[in-house]
Structure 1
Amino acid sequence: MMQTDLIQTLMGVIGSVGFALLFGVRDRKLVWIALGSGLGWVVYLLCRAAGHSLFVGMFVASLWVAVLSEVLARWVKTPVILLLVPMLIPEIPGGDLYYTMYRLLAGDTVGFGLAAKQVLGEAGAIALGIILASYGAGLWNNIRLHLHSRPRRSVSPWEKK
């Protein structure tokens, strides 16, 4: 089992870096993308090993990747989307989507319905993780800006200095 997890993580990292290269990402951002995508997949595997559902695993992993992308984007001074999209490549439910379309084309309407429900749930979990991280980052920035823009308390002439 451990060997399979390691191979999955490595292939996810390679896919993420390849996707980033395809879209022109260069320099040290590739290292962050590789680390972020690998850690995201490890979070997913840990959630699954802890007995959580596929959807909880996808949600927690995408939330982790989205938060990491928000933090790294500010540190590396690059747009969040440039890091987020490649880092999410391992979480994309490609196999499940393939089998959903296969069942549709094979005429298995019951199997298609069940598979489509699963794929839509996975995609929804990923989207929810991204939305919550984005909202949290925006809220954090607004609070920080509000606290830094508050006027300083002036000292009255009657108070001791």
Structure 2
Amino acid sequence: MVIQVMMAFVGSLGFAVIFRTKRERLLFTALGGGITWCLYLFCASRIPSYFACNLIAAIGAAVYGELMAHVFKTPPVVFRVPAMVPLIPGGSLYYTLSAALTKNQNLFIEKGMETIIIAFAISVGIVIVNLVCGPFRRDMIEPHE
């Protein structure tokens, strides 16, 4: 479990570097990925639902992005995207495509539905937080005069 959280941290850090995040924010963007994965693992040990676990973790990542955006006076996406990286359903998408290529219809349907459910849960989590936080969000970037 510790190794998984460390790898989520490193994966989020990698995406933050690719997106050219400022140095003083790198630790916090990577920390978001670690926290998101901790939340996912906690939920997965208690809730037997891909949708619920990913939804809760996505809400956690989006809230973290909002909080860090307020602290650093930046748009929430700077922190939200790297924090969501551990939730990306890359493995299930790979198995979906592999099943399609090998014409394994049952596995294709099973893994395809899993991929869609995870992606939908992440999207719904982001939308929920945007709906709740949007009206309270002030302009995070100073206006240019």
- TM-score normalised by L of structure 1: 0.81
The alpha-carbon deviation at position 52 of structure 1 amounts to 3.6
Q: Percent identity?
A: 34
Q: What does 1:1-161 align with in structure 2 at a 5 Å threshold?
A: 5-141=1-137
- Deviation per residue, 1:53-73 (Å, 9 max, x gap): 122110000000001101211
Give the alignment's Cα RMSD to 1 decimal: 1.3
- Structure 1 residue identity aligned to 2:80: L
Q: How many pairs were matched up?
A: 138
Moved over 4 A (4+): none
1:141 to partner: Cα distance: 4.0
C-alpha distance in structure 1 between counterparts of 2:50 and 2:38, whole Å:
14
Distance 1:119 1:104 in 2: 14
Give CA-to-partner distance per residue, 1:78-126, whole Å, 9 cap, x none.
1211111111100111111110110011111221112111100000000
- Secondary structure (helix, strand or coil) at the match of 1:88 reads helix
Q: What is the CA–CA distance in structure 2 between the aligned matches of 1:26 and 1:139, rounded to whole Å?
A: 27
How far off is 1:35 after superposition?
1.4
C-alpha distance in structure 1 between counterparts of 2:110 and 2:46, whole Å: 25
Unaligned runs of 5+ residues in structure 2 are 139-145
- Shift of the alpha carbon at 1:51? 3.1
